[in-house]
């Protein structure tokens, strides 16, 4: 047996011993909604070891004990049988030094603190009691919306998506061979709109308080002394079907550094202590980052820290009222006021876009979409340029979808609906701009080069021209005011 294999066996045995703790098992069962009759309110569990790679294998909740006995990292589905689970997630991302959060957690979580405090304050204002969970790279705030509540019904009514989303949700999914009820699927889509609104509020308040950029999802930013680092308000789970998403369970082991070892020195990874996902119950993040690295402290915490997901239906209703009268709600209504062109019409619509009128950083993403059109920063660049041309944001999403749905050797679209993914990212970046959160400060050629978005010394375009056009359209309420067929036939920037 090699030294590396021996170390892996030892790590598994340590996890198995940890999971034998009765308090740990009780807290995990509490989070997945297990009742006295050994049922669970979540639809499935996901489990992984150090070698895990997507897509995950869903397990019945009844398999929990065997999964724990095997020492796996455990996640539960966002698919809840009798309601919605809201998960609001922030995490530290460093595009140049991915190991930074594990090598220097005190600095990283100190940087995250103003955003964490902003979220906690906002949720308190709305009357939302959330379960606050600490993971290896950030924070999760989790609560429930009951299916028989008025806010659930409203979320289901406002939930939008392409027809392909409802089709895929109605399929029979493993492990139990059930379809997602349409009212639940629409409720999750509506919850995504609401989470965008909350993300807007957090970004607006917290950005002036932080040392590094705060963005929605992992968008490449300019360099700092520690690399291209940023805080991601990660609402990307709302860009996928409900049946496909899961969240880590508190008191589970946390294996991401070993599952994604790129960016780590081998010696650093070999010496890294085991990590655990924990609730911040009675402790702050400073105590949390030391507790989550000590198996005995985690077991002590399990003896006193409940993990039941709180019902915050009433507070979510107050959040929904704030959203209802917001600029973002107006953008969402505008976004879904038009339908994309179907695939059979792409040759006469999206395919007719003259790529030579686009700056190189955008043109190359359309010419080589795998993997450029999977990077949020590239999508944002495309959205900004096409808004400057006067495109309706739903047709920008259609353009992206027309690339996702063609054969570019994609391997990433497992358990993903391409049209929903295209809608989500386009809607999110267009919403930030329309609501005045994104004033295009970094929409220029120098920033594009610093962010790693542009590798061209001179493509003949100046992004400032597109920036000025987009800002002018927003100022005069002329976003997407021209007929779509005229946009295809014109290379004018105005």
Whether 270 and 386 share a structural domain: no
pLDDT at position 484, please? 67
pLDDT at position 481, please? 72
- Domain that residue 410 falls in: 337-488
Q: Which of 319, 350, 368 finishes a domain?
A: 319
Q: Which of 289, 319, 349 finishes a domain?
A: 319
Whether 64 and 203 share a structural domain: yes
The Cα 65–Cα 67 span in angstroms is: 5
Other Cβ atoms within 10 Å of 135 Cβ, number = 21
Q: What are phi and psi of 445, to 5 degrees?
A: -70, -35
Whether 88 and 168 share a structural domain: yes
pLDDT at position 492, please? 42
Q: Which of 319, 351, 366 finishes a domain?
A: 319
Whether 246 and 341 share a structural domain: no
Whether 372 and 290 share a structural domain: no
pLDDT at position 242, please? 97
Whether 230 and 267 share a structural domain: yes
Whether 390 and 481 share a structural domain: yes
| Mean pLDDT, the chain cut into blocks of 10 residues (494 residues total) | 56 93 97 81 94 78 95 96 96 95 96 98 98 97 97 97 96 95 98 98 98 96 94 97 97 93 84 93 95 97 97 98 96 95 95 94 95 96 96 97 95 92 98 96 92 82 94 92 62 42
The Cα 280–Cα 298 span in angstroms is: 11
Please indicate, yes or no, if residue 143 is contained in any of the structural domains: yes
For residue 371, whether the previous peptide bond is cis, meaning omega lies within 30 degrees of 0, is yes
Whether 278 and 367 share a structural domain: no
Whether 315 and 342 share a structural domain: no
Q: Encode 254-263: b = buried (16+ Cβ within 10 Å), e = exposed.
A: bbbbbeeeeb
pLDDT at position 483, please? 66
User: Which among 450, 487, 220 is positioned nearest to 358, based on CA atoms?
Assistant: 487
pLDDT at position 153, please? 97
Is the whole-model pTM more than 0.75? yes
Whether 389 and 250 share a structural domain: no
pLDDT at position 6, please? 46
Please indicate, yes or no, if residue 303 is contained in any of the structural domains: yes
Please indicate, yes or no, if residue 64 is contained in any of the structural domains: yes
The Cα 303–Cα 440 span in angstroms is: 49
State the angle between helix axes of 182-206 and 327-335 in degrees (0 to 180), rounded to the nearest 10: 140
Whether 304 and 185 share a structural domain: yes
Whether 349 and 423 share a structural domain: yes
Q: Integer distance in angstroms from the first to the last C-alpha of the chain?
A: 68
Domain count, the chain: 2
pLDDT tens digit sequence for 185-212: 999 999 999 999 999 999 999 999 999 9
- The CATH number linked to 114 is 3.90.920
Please indicate, yes or no, if residue 457 is contained in any of the structural domains: yes
């Amino acid at each position: 047996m090699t030294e590396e294999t021996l170390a892996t066996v030892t790590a598994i045995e340590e996890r198995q011993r940890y999971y034998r703790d009765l308090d740990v098992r009780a807290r995990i069962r509490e989070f997945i909604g297990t009742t006295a009759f050994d049922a669970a309110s979540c639809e499935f569990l996901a489990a992984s070891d150090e070698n895990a790679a997507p897509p995950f294998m869903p397990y019945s909740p009844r398999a929990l004990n065997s999964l724990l006995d095997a020492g796996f990292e455990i996640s539960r589905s966002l698919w809840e049988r009798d309601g919605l689970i809201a998960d609001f997630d922030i995490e530290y991302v460093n595009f140049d030094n991915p190991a930074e959060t594990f090598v220097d957690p005190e600095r990283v979580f100190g940087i995250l603190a103003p955003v964490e405090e902003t979220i906690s304050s906002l949720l308190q204002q709305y009357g939302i009691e959330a379960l606050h969970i600490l993971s290896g790279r950030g924070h999760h705030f989790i609560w429930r919306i009951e299916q028989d509540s008025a806010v659930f019904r409203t979320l289901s009514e406002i939930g939008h998506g392409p027809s392909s989303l409802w089709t895929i949700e109605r399929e029979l999914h493993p492990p139990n061979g059930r379809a997602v009820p349409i009212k639940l699927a629409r409720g999750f889509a509506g919850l995504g709109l609401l989470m965008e609104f909350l993300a807007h509020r957090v970004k607006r308040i917290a950005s002036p308080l932080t040392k590094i950029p705060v963005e929605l999802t992992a968008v490449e930013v300019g360099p700092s002394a520690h690399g291209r680092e940023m805080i991601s308000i990660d609402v990307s789970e709302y860009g996928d079907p409900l049946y496909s998403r899961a969240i880590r369970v508190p008191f589970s082991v946390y294996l991401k550094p070993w599952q994604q070892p790129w960016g780590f020195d081998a010696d650093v990874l070999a010496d890294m202590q085991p990590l655990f996902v924990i609730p911040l119950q009675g402790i702050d993040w400073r105590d949390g980052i030391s507790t989550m690295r000590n198996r005995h402290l985690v077991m002590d915490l399990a003896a006193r820290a409940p993990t039941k997901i709180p019902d915050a239906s009433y507070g979510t209703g107050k959040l929904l009222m704030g959203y209802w009268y917001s600029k973002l709600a107006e953008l969402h209504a505008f976004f879904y006021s038009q339908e994309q062109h179907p695939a059979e019409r792409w040759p006469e619509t999206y395919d007719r876009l003259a790529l030579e009128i686009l700056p190189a950083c955008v043109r190359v993403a359309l010419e080589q979409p795998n993997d450029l059109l999977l990077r949020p920063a590239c999508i944002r660049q495309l959205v900004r340029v096409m808004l400057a041309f006067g495109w309706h944001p739903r047709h920008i999403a259609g353009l992206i979808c027309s690339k996702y749905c063609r054969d570019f050797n994609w391997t990433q679209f497992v358990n993903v609906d391409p049209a929903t993914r295209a809608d989500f990212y386009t809607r999110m970046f267009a919403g930030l701009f329309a609501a005045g959160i994104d004033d295009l400060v970094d929409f220029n050629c120098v920033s594009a080069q610093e962010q790693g978005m542009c590798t061209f010394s001179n493509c003949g375009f100046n992004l400032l021209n597109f920036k000025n056009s987009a800002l002018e359209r927003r100022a005069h309420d002329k976003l997407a005011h021209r007929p779509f067929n005229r946009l295809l036939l014109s290379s004018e920037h105005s």
